[in-house]
A and B are shown apart, each in its own frame.
Chain A
Amino acid sequence: MELVEAALAGNRRAIARLITRIENDGDDAHASLSQIYPYTGQAHIVGITGAPGTGKSTLVNELAKAFRAANRQVGVIAVDPTSPFSGGAILGDRVRMRDLAGDSGVFVRSMATRGSLGGLARATADAIKVLDAAGFEVVIVETVGAGQSEVEIAETAHTVVVVEAPGMGDEVQAIKAGILEIADVFAVNKADREGADRTAAALEMMLDLDQTPSSQTRSASRIVIHHGQLMEVAQHPPHSTATGPDVPNDVSASRRWRPIVVKTIALRGDGIPELIQAIADHRQYLETSNELAHRNRIRLTNELEHILRDELMDQLLKKIDPSILVSLMTQVADRELDPYTAARQLLKNSYKGKRQRRSGDA
């Protein structure tokens, strides 16, 4: 476990190799993660998402420089898609981050999705943990610029910055469905281009609609979408007791944050101080409202669920005789058996197998 110790001490080569080990999901990946886990939970995780080419990487470059100017250590994880045809990938985000070279307070890692569809790789959350444990105070995560990436980054990051660019036609329609629900901050980038004011105004208008008292129920469901499946948790935030009896329980902290809209020209660094301020304001809000603990809890619950699901599936597949699987699949394909019954039969078979082995052992 020398590698883990070296990574925790901030050794850059060790950090890089540890991330590879985790990405490849090798034998010692889980043991390494168990070891670093106690040292995580310090970093502010900032997600940057938005359509392809809106300027995410260029913004990450500027944000990282600004955080560095404030003397904070910055880790960056930039995710690009794996080709479903070859399994290969071109990871090009570094091209826009060349200003970060030569600074030992910055660590940039590119990551391919490797089949994951949510805009992040399966290993992204764990790679964040490595950077967090190694002492990076801010971890910026750039998602794949396409697909339904938004929910996953909302579950992973503390603060989500959604990047929009002007010039996409009808402003209100151009704003992707679901984006209002996950954004904590909007960056209207390429503000040097025609239409940035209109895009910003359209966002403000939509946010105003979303915040009016008559849309209380919509606001409540906003939390539900934000945090995926965990609606009960969102409706009864764990901090409602901690904030005292004078704070009404049904007003979730999430509702009181109104996303900030900032215009930026990433190419020239314009609007970056404002964007940094908006991110800091959101962080402050998370801390003072107890929303931070709330979000962390939801994130970890989701993570645990994913791990459980993966492990159960692995265990199950190991127990199932492949020939039984094939024969059931054939029956399903021939419409002799429905998939629900097939799944139940497989489960029953696997448990039977286990009991037999046990009694055989005894």
Chain B
Amino acid sequence: MSKYHPTAKQKIRVLVAKPGLDGHDRGAKVVARALRDAGMEVIYTGLRQTPEMIAEAALQEDVDVIGLSVLSGAHTVLLPRIVELLRQNDMSDVLVIAGGIIPDEDVPLLKEAGVHGTFGPGTLTEDIVKFIQEHVRE
């Protein structure tokens, strides 16, 4: 039995955050609810988070996963910065995934920078759940 089996005491903890300055978080909320319904504990932090705020919250909450919702074009700067801060905090084993509007040509760059999974518009929430369950640190 996986240690993250629904009846196990351990839960997958996910920080859902929205870096950048653009102003709506509908998508992030949908994902948050789907993850909750899959038995995860979702720490929801809301809009306009700086990379520093996200890394700090991830540390205090001791999360296993960070889910980032990006709509602005700044993801190529923000996401690598978050990964770098995690590394500085000795949290490189945290799974980082991103969703929202990410042009295909940016995906290799983000992967290279340490973002483990990217999910474009129209992704099924089941796929995100499955990705997390398969890739979260054991």
Type the 1/0 row for A76-88, where 1 means its CB is closer than 8 Å to any CB of B. 0000001101111
- Residues on A with C-beta less than 8 A from B89 are 13
**Is A16 interfacial (CB 8 A cutoff)?**
yes
| Chain A contacts with B in 99-130, Cβ cutoff 8 A | 101-102, 107-110, 112, 114
Type the 1/0 row for B2-21, where 1 means its CB is closer than 8 Å to any CB of A. 00001101110100000000
Interface pair A110/B61, CB less than 8 Å apart: yes
CA distance A92 to B9 in the complex (A): 21
Partner of A86, one of B37, B50, B53, B90: B37
Q: What is the interface size of chain B, counting residues whose CB is below 8 A from a CB of the partner?
A: 33
Given A24-B9, A88-B42, A95-B44, also A16-B37 (CB < 8 A): no
Given A90-B33, A90-B36, A109-B60, also A98-B41 (CB < 8 A): no
Of chain B, the residue at the smallest CB distance from A15 is: B60
- Residues on A with C-beta less than 8 A from B7 are 87
Interface pair A95/B45, CB less than 8 Å apart: yes
**Is A17 interfacial (CB 8 A cutoff)?**
yes
Interface pair A12/B59, CB less than 8 Å apart: yes
- Residues on B with C-beta less than 8 A from A98 are 45-46, 49, 53
Interface pair B53/A91, CB less than 8 Å apart: no
**Is B43 interfacial (CB 8 A cutoff)?**
yes
Write the nearest CB–CB distance from A107 to chain B, whole angstroms.
6
**Is A294 interfacial (CB 8 A cutoff)?**
no
Interface pair B41/A12, CB less than 8 Å apart: no
CA distance A82 to B9 in the complex (A): 13
**Is B39 interfacial (CB 8 A cutoff)?**
yes
Interface pair B10/A89, CB less than 8 Å apart: no
Count class of interface residues, chain A? 20 to 34
**Is A94 interfacial (CB 8 A cutoff)?**
yes
Mostly, the B contact residues are: mixed
Interface pair A94/B45, CB less than 8 Å apart: yes
Partner of B6, one of A13, A17, A26, A87: A87
Write the nearest CB–CB distance from A224 to chain B, whole angstroms.
34
CA distance A87 to B42 in the complex (A): 11
Given A25-B9, A102-B53, also A89-B41 (CB < 8 A): yes
Of chain A, the residue at the smallest CB distance from B13 is: A20
Interface pair B52/A101, CB less than 8 Å apart: yes
**Is B62 interfacial (CB 8 A cutoff)?**
yes
CA distance A110 to B35 in the complex (A): 16
**Is B83 interfacial (CB 8 A cutoff)?**
no
Given A91-B42, A91-B44, A92-B44, also A86-B9 (CB < 8 A): no
Given A91-B44, A94-B44, also A16-B61 (CB < 8 A): yes
CA distance A88 to B49 in the complex (A): 24
- Residues on A with C-beta less than 8 A from B79 are none
Interface pair B44/A102, CB less than 8 Å apart: no
- Residues on A with C-beta less than 8 A from B37 are 83, 85-86, 88
Contacts A88-B39, A102-B52 given; 16 further ones with Cβ under 8 A?
A12-B60, A16-B59, A19-B62, A26-B9, A86-B6, A86-B39, A88-B37, A89-B41, A92-B46, A95-B46, A102-B56, A108-B57, A109-B61, A110-B61, A114-B9, A114-B11
30 A-B pairs with CB atoms under 8 Å apart are A12-B59, A12-B60, A13-B90, A16-B61, A26-B9, A83-B37, A86-B38, A87-B7, A87-B11, A88-B38, A89-B42, A90-B32, A90-B42, A91-B41, A91-B42, A92-B44, A92-B46, A94-B57, A95-B45, A98-B45, A98-B49, A101-B53, A101-B57, A102-B52, A102-B53, A102-B56, A107-B60, A109-B60, A110-B61, A112-B11
